[in-house]
């Protein structure tokens, strides 16, 4: 795509200079396009996934089967986003592995394609461009992230990703 000076350039959300192929635990959040509640709903503080949500869950697990250097820790598919801890292990050389962005891209591609096949919308974007990540630095942080993921369905009524959330009441911050 040619450079357009009238259109602002998007800056990368990744940590500048960091090698995202190196082993470690990465907390990622991916949102659906326009934060559409595509994957199901939260009923009684429990996520009830529909067919699209089950595909997203299945394809998240596919990452660990497809790439032997990937392990999955805590994760949850919410109505319009996914939180997960993805662990890149040192079971292969760094030249043989995709960086975090490549892994997330592979997940978005395969899940989006399968969801679009089911809903007969080929080429329609399922996922929002880019994703949020946080590099885990210690055990306390990892524990806090796991708690945050486990509690996400319980906090749905106050979640800014919830289109029915009262924005004036919402004050929850990510605790890590």
Q: What is the CATH number of the domain that holds 74?
A: 3.30.70.1290
Residue 114 belongs to some domain of the structure? yes
Residue 134 belongs to some domain of the structure? yes
DSSP character at residue 152: T
Q: Which two tokens stand for residue 51?
A: 């067919």
Strands 46-49 and 40-43 come out as antiparallel
Residue 6 belongs to some domain of the structure? no
* Amino acid 1: pLDDT: 47
Residue 145 belongs to some domain of the structure? yes
Residue 169 belongs to some domain of the structure? no
Kind and range of the H or E element at 84?
strand 81-88
pLDDT tens for the chain, residues 1 to 176: 455 556 554 445 556 778 899 999 999 999 999 999 999 999 999 999 999 999 999 999 999 999 999 999 999 999 999 999 999 998 776 667 999 999 999 999 999 999 999 999 999 999 999 999 999 989 999 999 999 999 999 999 988 889 888 766 555 556 66
Residue 55 belongs to some domain of the structure? yes
Helix pair 100-119, 51-66: axis angle to 10 deg? 140
Which residues form the domain of 94?
A: 24-158
* Amino acid 94: pLDDT: 67
């Amino acid at each position: 795509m040619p450079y357009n000076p009238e259109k602002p350039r998007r800056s990368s959300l990744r940590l500048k200079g960091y090698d995202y192929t190196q082993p470690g635990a990465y907390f990622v959040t991916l949102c659906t396009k326009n934060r559409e509640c595509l994957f199901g709903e939260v009923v009684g503080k429990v996520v009830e996934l529909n067919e699209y949500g089950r595909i997203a869950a299945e394809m998240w697990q596919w990452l660990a089967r497809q790439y032997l250097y990937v392990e999955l820790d805590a994760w949850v598919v919410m109505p319009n986003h996914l939180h997960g801890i993805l662990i890149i292990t040192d079971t292969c050389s760094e030249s043989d592995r995709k960086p975090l962005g490549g892994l997330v891209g592979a997940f978005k591609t395969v899940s989006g394609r399968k969801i679009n096949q089911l809903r007969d919308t080929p080429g329609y974007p399922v996922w929002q461009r880019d994703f949020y990540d946080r590099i885990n630095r210690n055990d306390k942080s990892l524990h806090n992230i796991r708690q945050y993921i486990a509690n996400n369905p319980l906090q749905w009524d106050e979640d800014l990703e919830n289109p029915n959330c009262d924005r004036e009441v919402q004050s929850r911050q990510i605790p890590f």
